[in-house]
Structure 1
Amino acid sequence: MLDYMTKLIAERIAPWGKVPLLQEIFQSEEPATVARHIYEFCEAELGQQPTEALFFFCSIGVVFGLEMPGGQRIVIKAHKPERPLTFLTQMGNVQRYLVARGYPCPRPILGPRPLGRGLAIIDELIDEGVFRDAHEPVIRKAIATALYELIQLLRHVEQAGIDPTPFDLRLPSDVLWPNPHNAIFDFEATREGAEWIDELAWKVKRIIEADEQPPVLSHGDFSANQMRLVGDHLRMVYDWDSLTLRSELVSVGATASTFTYSEQPGITNIETTYADAAAFIVDYEAARQQPFTSEEQRIIQAATLLGQLYSARCQHALHPHEHKYSRIWYEQMCAEYGTIL
């Protein structure tokens, strides 16, 4: 079992070269060392060793799918050392709150508990259903409706004893970008050539800052990559460590910018176009049964554009000399969003 987990990790990270996140959490990028950490964690926290390694992913956190004796299937997600205990504790509380109300999210089993230099949580693994292409109108509508339902459920979580403040990750007025979600993106070292991205991002950030709606909890990565469906209905939404506190308008816009993204097998069209984003916003309006005002639309579109600009900034950080995001693309984006600038 340990050898198989080691092989699974090695195969996954082979194309990547360096994996800074593994070093951050486990102080090693050696697959055998990482596998041993997980093996020992299961034995210490669950009193038993896994019988099968199902999958391994590495992005914002390090994720392991495991089968335990008796057939129990679990997900372990190890978090960076800087991820606060209060954040992960309240995250589990939010998940339990949603599960109790029938929302499709995993049931927490244990955690947060120390793992390596960070903390880990264990959730029930539910992998019924399939991943779908969110360009399909019926899937796009399901995602928009589920986002609306989620925001309504989380609008007053304080009344259930949940503290939403650990999820308030809004940046100060003089800070443009958050720390990139993955250490492979170095914004500081790749400033040259990204000036046009930053310039436009500052403009839309100021529009968003004029939003006077109160913040509410929402899912910060509400995309096809995180969702399984049975038929046309959501069966499970993953990645709850992306919970974030911001206004409904910003959540709608940010989701509209990336909802089609997916790394799942068989889904090749992951680009979210301006037309996709506009259709998503219309679907969200249908779910809330009320259109947004023109000023609300302006803030939503600004949040959509900022999401796309963050993606552009990440791509530039990976390939600063390829000029994938050319002046032509910049002018096209300005034309599409010219009404809000």
Structure 2
Amino acid sequence: MLPNDPPDWLRGWCLDHLAGEPAEVLFRLRQISMVFGLRLTNGVEVVVKAREDDGRAGSCVAAQMVLAERGFPCARPLTPVVGVGDLAVHAEEYRPGGDVLYGDSPDVAVRYAEVFAWLMTDLADVTVAPPLPSPRWSRWDHTDPGVWPAIDFLDDRDQSAVPDFVVNTADRVRKRVLAAGLPCVLGHADFEAQNLRWHGDRIWTVHDWDSLAWQPEAALAGLASGAFANSGQPTLAPIESSEAFLATYQDARGRVFTDEELEVAWAASLWTPAHNARWEVLHGDAPVAGDALEAQAAERLRRANA
């Protein structure tokens, strides 16, 4: 038997779509998706990803394929998305190696912003069905009642434990971003250190293409400006580092945000840490994002005109 007890369907799926059966499990991860690193009987090493089929995966994989074909540093999909029961499954090349770039200084922010601008430039003319709904940590545009998008495993917990400043921040962010009415584009909504690998100064791989979103460009840049340094329990980058990120992003994209776009970017930079602060409280975790949010929310909201 293979180690890590892969699911029954995996052997046949690999044989049907990759011309080989799993011979060895290189790694297995379980977060939102199930991810299997496999060495097949034909000697090929691949990664197979399976997640609940919510209709997003096909667009995400199609966009990832375009970027890989253009030479952007990401794993190249080897199959389209295939339904297996209630799962959406695809395979991509195994692209190991590289190091996490740690740090949240302005100098580090500049390096991440340059890659994010490259990513967004390459996505700008990619035409796929919008991958909706956006990931929950970027889903301020939901139509559910209340401030937060409906997430059963969070909503079932005691909401009275969530501090008022977290809820108030999320509410003000949501109203500010939605009031702008900016057009949506395709972008990466989980652009964090943990999802990137580097060879020295050169970016090697950007991972987690399941997390593409359909949101305004300025909002996506704002999300990344606050989250780029996350490599463990998520927090919020310093304000001066978000400033450096947003300035570099605009330079690299060759366009200057309007005043309103810049306000939206500062507002959106708070949505993910507010989501994470809520998560921390509801799961009894240390308030890492919560403390950073409490320290920075007032200034970021001021810059957002929210």
TM-score scaled to structure 2, two decimals? 0.85
Q: 2:21 aligns with which of 41, 44, 49?
A: 49
CA distance in 1, matches of 2:70, 2:292: 44
- Pairing of 1:1-341 with structure 2 (within 5 A): 2=2, 4=3, 6=4, 32=5, 34-80=6-52, 82-84=53-55, 87-115=56-84, 117-135=86-104, 139-158=108-127, 163-167=128-132, 169=134, 170-172=141-143, 174-180=145-151, 185-196=153-164, 197-263=166-232, 272-319=237-284, 332-339=295-302, 340-341=305-306
Greater RCO (CA < 8 Å, at least 6 residues apart): 2
Size of the aligned set, in residue pairs, is: 297
Quote how far apart the aligned CAs of 1:324 are. 7.0
Q: Report the RMSD for the aligned CA atoms in angstroms.
A: 2.8
Quote how far apart the aligned CAs of 1:202 are. 0.9
Quote how far apart the aligned CAs of 1:122 are. 0.5
Quote how far apart the aligned CAs of 1:329 are. 6.4
Q: Closer, same or farther in 2 for the Cα pair 1:110/1:134, shift >3 Å? A: farther
Give the unaligned 5+ runs of structure 1.
Answer: 7-31
Contact persistence 1:221–1:255 (CA under 8 A)? yes
Q: Closer, same or farther in 2 for the Cα pair 1:310/1:331, shift >3 Å? A: closer
Quote how far apart the aligned CAs of 1:143 are. 2.0
Q: Percent identity between the aligned chains? A: 26
CA distance in 2, matches of 1:145, 1:226: 15
CA distance in 2, matches of 1:189, 1:51: 42
- Of 66-75 and 251-260, more deviation after overlay is shown by 66-75
Q: Which runs of 4+ in 1 moved over 6 A?
A: 322-326
Give the unaligned 5+ runs of structure 2.
Answer: 135-140
Amino acid at match of 2:62: N
CA distance in 2, matches of 1:294, 1:156: 25
CA distance in 2, matches of 1:220, 1:338: 20
Contact persistence 1:142–1:234 (CA under 8 A)? no
CA distance in 2, matches of 1:39, 1:318: 35
